[in-house]
Amino acid sequence: MGENTDPQELDRLFSPRSVALVGASPNPYSGGYAYAVHLLQDFKGKFFFVNPRAEEVLGVKTYPSLSDLPEQVDYVICSISSEKVPSLLEECSRKGVKIVHLFTARMSETGREGGEALEREIVEKARRLGIRVLGPNCMGLYNPEVGLTYGYSFPEEPGPVGGIFQSGGLSTDFVHYGYLRGLRFSRVVSYGNGRDLDESELLRYFSWHPSTRVVAVYLEGVRDGRKFVGALREAAEKKPVVVLRGGRGKTGARAIRSHTASVAGREEVWGAVLRSCGAVEVDSFDELLDQLVAFAFLPPSTGRRVAVLGGGGGKSVLSADLWEREGFELPDLGPSLREKLKEMCPGEWDWVGNPVDFSILQERPVMPQEWLEMMDDSGDFDFFVFNLTEDDPLPEEVWRFWMEEQVNGLLRFRRRGRPLLAVVPSAGVDSRELRRWRWEAIGEIRRRMVEEGLPVFPSAERAARALRRFADYWEKRSRKGISPSCSSGS
Amino acid sequence: MGENTDPQELDRLFSPRSVALVGASPNPYSGGYAYAVHLLQDFKGKFFFVNPRAEEVLGVKTYPSLSDLPEQVDYVICSISSEKVPSLLEECSRKGVKIVHLFTARMSETGREGGEALEREIVEKARRLGIRVLGPNCMGLYNPEVGLTYGYSFPEEPGPVGGIFQSGGLSTDFVHYGYLRGLRFSRVVSYGNGRDLDESELLRYFSWHPSTRVVAVYLEGVRDGRKFVGALREAAEKKPVVVLRGGRGKTGARAIRSHTASVAGREEVWGAVLRSCGAVEVDSFDELLDQLVAFAFLPPSTGRRVAVLGGGGGKSVLSADLWEREGFELPDLGPSLREKLKEMCPGEWDWVGNPVDFSILQERPVMPQEWLEMMDDSGDFDFFVFNLTEDDPLPEEVWRFWMEEQVNGLLRFRRRGRPLLAVVPSAGVDSRELRRWRWEAIGEIRRRMVEEGLPVFPSAERAARALRRFADYWEKRSRKGISPSCSSGS
């Protein structure tokens, strides 16, 4: 489909110095209101509101039309009804606009002939005028570097994660929930029907984009299979590309037609294509987040020998089961480490093992940091998993003290720069719980870990699944002889 | 192993009117302190503290020995070192004690010969004296009806969930995390090495126990395979028994030996045995919670036709995929429902489908309750899944209003008594988040749903997996001609 823009040029389009919002609205239920708020609060460049039926929106003067603006603009956010878009494009052309984001929807995704025809007309017209179109039927662009955003509470600071989302709601969830896991974003693009700027061109863009180290993709279908395969292969050789597909089942395939007018491909073909391109496929939104956390926070590694520490017996046993299920091995403690332990805890040295069951250790407090260091020094382990032991039968003060000790030790060990991750169960509780100190404290600990750049997972199974795909990806890359150093983690 | 006690008699042992804590301690790191706190704060009967080296613990007079107590006691919690246990048993016998809980550990699980021998000696002696032993190496019994508990912040009010846990820490997590999902418990037993009262006898007990409607089991091994199979089959025919096994992998099997001295069976045999007995096997702790939530809150159902509502396009598509993956079908909206919709929203009636993508509906606010009722009236759906739509690009006040509308409608629909569940993503965040209103509000909504007895799951995949096993269980039962009505949900 159409002519592509060079990635560097596309980056200029994605970093506008001035934006016009056509359809700025005082109605807080509307997109025209939300974009007005975001421009007002976050955008670092110049912006203008257009609305022929209002004098001002949120205290900002509005212009009756784009043509009435006092100067040229780089980027237009369009939140007016679809039939008015073609004439808007003429005005855009006269104002030097190079890209139009169509928040405007109700086109091909309605399944009606008129919608499909209008969408085609708009894109063809834009091409003739040399204007790129993002959408229609999408949330658009989040670029924290210039303060362009489409969601409430999106972080202001940028980061290494890029996102290509066919669904605007999922991309919003991705930023909101990813933020809490410590993810920060270079750019996230919600591209909806993708009639002009499509998934392939966006992949090429993120593949090139220097400060993007890992890319998340949510796809419901592709416009041009051949082009997509080429773009994906190229991108996945440069940096990890994590793909979540919608419409894999019968009903999902039906639902995507009414969502982004996509046509899902044959399931068996899809899996094979993604694998052969070197992409990392995940099966759910939670897995998408987990996978991004792994790639964003851990240095490249192909190792499968894992040290598991923390938690009582049951948690240790279940953790071991789940890590092994994903193809990892938990080597037992070696002879020299046993010798050291023999001095430190003569009654437990031969009883404790890997996973390290903290409830066994009662003779002498071998602290988490000490354990981690000894295991690291042994050279027998590629990475380290810390299960936060929050189920000890201890009264509040003692419990808090012991938790603090664990976390401080963990964060001190982290200075060694060894691959380390934490498993902290999520209670699914927020504020105002009846008996709240426990959950508040665990929440604080999780926040502290995340702020320190530690990858935190809510369960052993989710951690193990993400780490398996992580190690598989780096193994495949190293087999191809591509050094992982270029996209090394923090 | 040994003679079993009749379940009714065991229930009397589990509902003591008086308890002695041997090894009450002022050291807040010790079990002897924790049990003292719990007896003081929660136990509804009489209790006594024993410690020869203290005059009082937590302001309560202590006795030098059990023999010094002014009266007989029903139940002893033993938190002294293992070598002193045999002589304590003699005293127990003289004081009329019928059951001793050995929090005391360091026996067979140490892997040392002395530990194994001592454990055997203790249990044999107890048998001769007519005393049942819970443990050693376990947290013991949580029976909210008499206020006997072993964990901080365990709920005071009882409920329909029974628990048999070889691991004390996991049983503590089960109560803590289950509580937040709305679970309440009849009794939970942490039985550790299970040398006398074992998993089979406990299963027989819970199978009989009238107010227990569903049983959670965490197993690392069984003492007597034949006895266990009989007990499990009998229990699973009466009520759902959900089993999580530890030690399924190589390392886990090694770890259980140092945890509860169990020997894991052959993996392939285990799966077949559990299936043939009609037990519901789960693969992780999170799945255990999810499964209990399903059985505790939903009426028996074998239906596979699901109505999915809420969320934007991407969330709807992914939900459909995940429900289908677990064997459910999402029937499309039927002709009579379409007719109704045609009047209500002439521009969207043929576009929207099941899953119901809320972002399509903009002509006229067809509210969640209306949708649920229309779909229910069509008779095409066995149960209803509501995805909380929290990713709308709305400013705080409007967002709150819309969330409130959704939840109120949902809870009003619930009065119809139809099987309904909600998917509310868990942010893994607690208090003090930078931008907190969103997470606080979602937490409040989740809490409100849980308090109203709604089963709430953190993701579509977890909900679908739990519901598949739920429907499988009831289907198997109905094939056997066993009416599910006796254990009907709330």
Same domain for B155 and B122: yes
Average pLDDT over residues B98-107: 95
Q: What is the pLDDT of residue A485?
A: 43
- Domain end, chosen from B276, B295, B314, is at B295
Would residue B66 count as lying in a domain? yes
Same domain for A89 and A231: yes
- Domain end, chosen from B232, B265, B295, is at B295
Cα–Cα distance list, B335 to A111, B332, B373, B380, B383 (Å): 18, 10, 16, 11, 19
Domain count, chain B: 2
Is the predicted pLDDT of residue B22 greater than 60, yes or no?
yes
Same domain for A402 and A269: no
Would residue A359 count as lying in a domain? yes
Would residue B138 count as lying in a domain? yes
From B111, B176, B249, residue closest to A324, measured CB to CB: B249
Is the predicted pLDDT of residue B82 greater than 90, yes or no?
yes
Our CA-based measurement puts residue B337 at a distance from the nearest CA of chain A, in whole angstroms, of 18
Would residue A2 count as lying in a domain? no
Same domain for B319 and B244: no
From A151, A317, A322, residue closest to B255, measured CB to CB: A317
Instruction: Kindly state the tokens that stand for B237.
Output: 């025919």
In chain B, what residues touch A399 (CB-CB under 8 Å)? 152
**Cα first-last separation, chain A:** 37
Chain B residue at shortest CA distance from A435? B153
Determine which of B113, B317, B385, B465 to mutate to test the interface with A (most A C-beta atoms within 10 Å).
B317
Q: Could you tell me which residue, B455 or A263, shows the higher pLDDT?
A: B455
Q: What is the pLDDT of residue A320?
A: 95
SS (H, E, C) chain A: CCCCCCHHHHHHHCCCCEEEEECCCCCCCCHHHHHHHHHHHHCCCEEEEECCCCCEECCEEEECCHHHCCCCCCEEEECCCHHHHHHHHHHHHHCCCCEEEECCCCCHHHCCHHHHHHHHHHHHHHHHHCCEEECCCCCEEEECCCCECCCCCCCCCCCCEEEEECCHHHHHHHHHHHHHCCCCEEEEEECCCCCCCCHHHHHHHHHHCCCCCEEEEEECCCCCHHHHHHHHHHHHHHCCEEEEECCCCHHHHHHHHHHHCCCCCCHHHHHHHHHHHCCEEECCHHHHHHHHHHHHHCCCCCCCEEEEECCCHHHHHHHHHHHHHCCCECCCCCHHHHHHHHHHCCCCCCCCCCCECCCCCCCCCCCHHHHHHHHHHHCCCCEEEEECCCCCCCCHHHHHHHHHHHHHHHHHHHCCCCCEEEECCCCCCCCCCCCCHHHHHHHHHHHHHHHCCCCEECCHHHHHHHHHHHHHHHHHHHHCCCCHHHHCCC
In chain B, what residues touch A312 (CB-CB under 8 Å)? 167-170
Same domain for B252 and B234: yes
Q: Could you tell me which residue, B430 or A217, shows the higher pLDDT?
A: A217
Residue range(s) defining the domain that contains residue A440: 299-487
Cross-chain Cβ contact A325/B440 below 8 Å: no
Q: What is the pLDDT of residue B436?
A: 64
Would residue B338 count as lying in a domain? yes
Same domain for A465 and A350: yes
Question: For tokens 């886990």, what's the residue?
Answer: B252
- Domain end, chosen from A266, A295, A324, is at A295
Would residue A464 count as lying in a domain? yes
Same domain for B378 and B287: no
Our CA-based measurement puts residue B135 at a distance from the nearest CA of chain A, in whole angstroms, of 15
In chain A, what residues touch B271 (CB-CB under 8 Å)? none
Chain A residue at shortest CA distance from B330? A251
Average pLDDT, chain B: 91
Question: How many Cβ pairs closer than 8 A exist between chain A and B?
Answer: 327
Average pLDDT over residues B466-475: 97
From A260, A313, A398, residue closest to B259, measured CB to CB: A313
Would residue A134 count as lying in a domain? yes
Same domain for B193 and B73: yes
Same domain for B304 and B212: no
Q: What is the pLDDT of residue A367?
A: 83
Same domain for A321 and A290: no
Would residue A214 count as lying in a domain? yes
Same domain for A252 and A189: yes
Q: What is the pLDDT of residue B487?
A: 40
Q: What is the pLDDT of residue A364?
A: 67
Same domain for B415 and B357: yes
Q: Could you tell me which residue, B328 or B261, shows the higher pLDDT?
A: B328
Is the predicted pLDDT of residue B434 greater than 50, yes or no?
no
CATH number of the structural domain spanning residue A107: 3.40.50.261
Q: Could you say which residues of chain A have pLDDT below 50?
A: 1-2, 430-435, 484-490
